[in-house]
Each structure stands twice: as C-alpha cells, then as structure tokens.
Amino acid sequence: MNIMWWYFIVLVVVVVVFIINHFKRKNRKKFKENFENVSINIGNILCVYYYKYFISLLKKEHFYYENNDSFINLFPKFIQFDQEISNLLDEKKITYEKYKNYDDVSFWGSETKEKQIIHDIMKPYMNKIMTSVFEDNKLKKEVKYPIIHFRCADTPFIKQRHYYLQKYKYFKDVLESVPKFDKIIILSCNTHLSSKKNEESCGEYTHLLKDQLKEYNPEIECGTNVDDFISMFYAPVVISTQSSFSFMAGFFGNGTYIQPNFMDENKECNDCESKWRGYSISHEMVDDYHQIKEVYKLLI
C-alpha cells in the first residue's frame, strides 16, 4: 500500500511538471510569434523596471514589481535583496533621498558622472538578469556585426531634450576605434510615434548616413521592437545616438557600447568621462529638421 501510494505521488508530480513545461513552451512560442504585440516603448518600460530595482537596493529591500506588458512579464517579479550591490552603492555615497523622486523613464541618462557610476555598478547585475530572461525564453541569437542604432522617427523633429543628431564624424571615428568587420548594420525604424512627413525625412537622413559610411559596407535594417532589442543586446558593438532603447539593450548587453557624451537640454555633461564629446548637434542650431539640406551642412 505504501509503495503504491508513493508511485501515485511520483506520477502526479511528473504530470504536473509536464503540464507546466508544456504551457511554458506554448507561451514562449506564442510570444516569439507576436513580437509586435508588446509595448512600443520597450526602452522606457525596461528603464522603469531598472530604476525600481535600483531604488529597492537603496532602500535595502527585496524587489517586487508587477507590470502587464508582455515583454516585462518575462522579467523576474521578485529579486532578493543583494547586499553586495548595496555595498557598492553605499561606497559611492549614492543615497535613496537623492534618487527617490527621480523621473523613472529618464533614469537611463548619463547626465552626471554619478549617474555613470551607478550604471557601471549595475551593469553586470542587469546583464545577468537579462541574459537569464532571454535564454530562458529562447530569445538568444547570434549577431556578427556592429549595430548603429539611428534613432529617427518622432525625434529629432520634436526637439526632445535627450535626443539629438550626431555629425557623421562621430560614426566614422567610433568605427575606426573598434575592430573591423565585413559590414555594419544601421538599425533604424522610422515609424515609432512618427508621421508620414517624419518617416520621409528620416528615410533621407538614414540613406545619407549610409552613403557617408559606404566604406564600412552598411546595411539598413528594421525588425520588430523586441527582435531589434535582442539584436543590440547580443551585438559585438552597439553605436548609440543616445536613446533609452539602445542604452538598455546595448549598455547592459554583451558587447561594446558607445554613445556620444550625454546631452541634456542642449548641453553636454561637463564632468562625465567620455571621449566622444562635441559630436551632437544642439537643437538650438536647427530651425526645422525637415530642411534636410540645411541640417546636412551641420552634419557633414
């Protein structure tokens, strides 16, 4: 009787495990087939997740976070308090009082040297979380070539405080500083919060950039937001034009991440450690970004 009882328990456990794994595989497959059904603001929404995790460390608490976005739902809703990270933040005198009311969507910015330090401390831990999420959900991919994330859709036309165009010299200087590859990818999707007029202008800007970088054998690509994010995470090099999307994917990714010295409200960070200064075009220098011939003179 006891043996039969144990056989029954084992059978129940096996069936339960099978059912759980079946639904996990089903959900992963469904997610992979519906990349475009996730939030269009992956960079922003993941930045909020990052900020809240950071705040929980400053408060010395376990991390709890609930969000209905299908992409963020892949991430841990609970992370146990990590004394090691907390100690590193304490050593740099980074306090809860200073950051408790920070704009969570803008936390990716590196507008001060202290913000750079925070990101550097958090990088290996965020990379570990993201790697686990992508591998568990069969999203890992091989990416062979450097990616330039050229952010052009609603920006630069709305002249948002964190988003700018860069001189072509920026891309050339960066590409000369990294290992050589057979080709490069210009990742640019011009439909994000965009308009027909913006899409047309962005198309011209993107092809002008491609023409300027023709010696590096560039190809223009635009996939779904999740697929593009994963591509940057696994790319050997990500060259950012300063955006939350490329920062969250590239900086916390597995390769080399490069962005221009951070610019906020048309002013570059003064105390940041960056060799990529003076490349961004201030909005104050441009009357209308749709006047492409005039803007081109600033970029060349």
Three-state SS for the chain is CHHHHHHHHHHHHHHHHHHHHHHHHHHHHHHHHCHHHCCCCHHHHHHHHHHHHHHHHHCCCCEECCCCCCCHHHCCCEECCCHHHHHHHHHCCCCHHHHCCCCHHHCCCCCCHHHHHHHHHHHHHHHHHHHHHHHHCCCCCCCCCCEEECCCCCCCCCCCCCCCCECHHHHHHHHHHCCCCCCEEEECCCCCCCCHHHHHHHHHHHHHHHHHCHHHCEEEECCCHHHHHHHHHHCCEEEECCCHHHHHHHHCCCCEEECCCCEECCEECCCCCCCCCCCECCHHHCCCCCCHHHHHHHHC
Same domain for 130 and 151, yes or no, is: no
Residue 109 falls inside a structural domain: yes
Same domain for 99 and 166, yes or no, is: no
Same domain for 212 and 124, yes or no, is: no
What pLDDT is recorded for position 37? 44
Residue 30 falls inside a structural domain: no
Give the domain range for residue 116. Answer: 42-136
What pLDDT is recorded for position 86? 98
What pLDDT is recorded for position 41? 85
pLDDT tens-digit readout, 56-81: 999 999 999 998 888 999 999 999 99
Same domain for 113 and 159, yes or no, is: no
pLDDT tens-digit readout, 249-294: 999 999 999 999 999 999 999 999 999 999 999 999 999 999 999 9
Same domain for 59 and 171, yes or no, is: no
Same domain for 88 and 63, yes or no, is: yes
Q: Which of 82, 105, 136 is the last residue of a domain?
A: 136
What pLDDT is recorded for position 20? 55
Q: pLDDT at residue 16 above 50?
A: yes
What pLDDT is recorded for position 190? 83
What pLDDT is recorded for position 14? 61
d(CA 79, CA 49): 12
Residue 124 falls inside a structural domain: yes
Same domain for 205 and 88, yes or no, is: no
Q: Please give the structure tokens belonging to residue 190.
A: 């011009």
What pLDDT is recorded for position 34? 47
Residue 252 falls inside a structural domain: yes
Neighbours of 284 (CB within 10 A): 9
Q: Which of 136, 158, 180 is the last residue of a domain?
A: 136
pLDDT tens-digit readout, 192-203: 777 889 999 999
What pLDDT is recorded for position 157? 94
What pLDDT is recorded for position 241? 96
- Counted domains in the chain: 2
Q: Which of 136, 169, 187 is the last residue of a domain?
A: 136
What pLDDT is recorded for position 114? 97
User: Taking a C-beta distance cutoff of 8 angstroms, is the pair 154, 199 a contact?
Assistant: no
pLDDT tens-digit readout, 38-59: 556 899 999 999 999 999 999 9
Q: pLDDT at residue 28 above 60?
A: no
Same domain for 70 and 187, yes or no, is: no
Same domain for 158 and 256, yes or no, is: yes
Q: Assign 33 a pLDDT band (cuts: 50, 70, 90).
A: very low
Residue 75 falls inside a structural domain: yes
Same domain for 167 and 281, yes or no, is: yes
Mean pLDDT across 22-46: 60
User: Taking a C-beta distance cutoff of 8 angstroms, is the pair 251, 119 a contact?
Assistant: yes
Same domain for 124 and 179, yes or no, is: no
Residue 23 falls inside a structural domain: no
Residue 6 falls inside a structural domain: no
Residue 19 falls inside a structural domain: no
Same domain for 181 and 253, yes or no, is: yes
Neighbours of 18 (CB within 10 A): 10
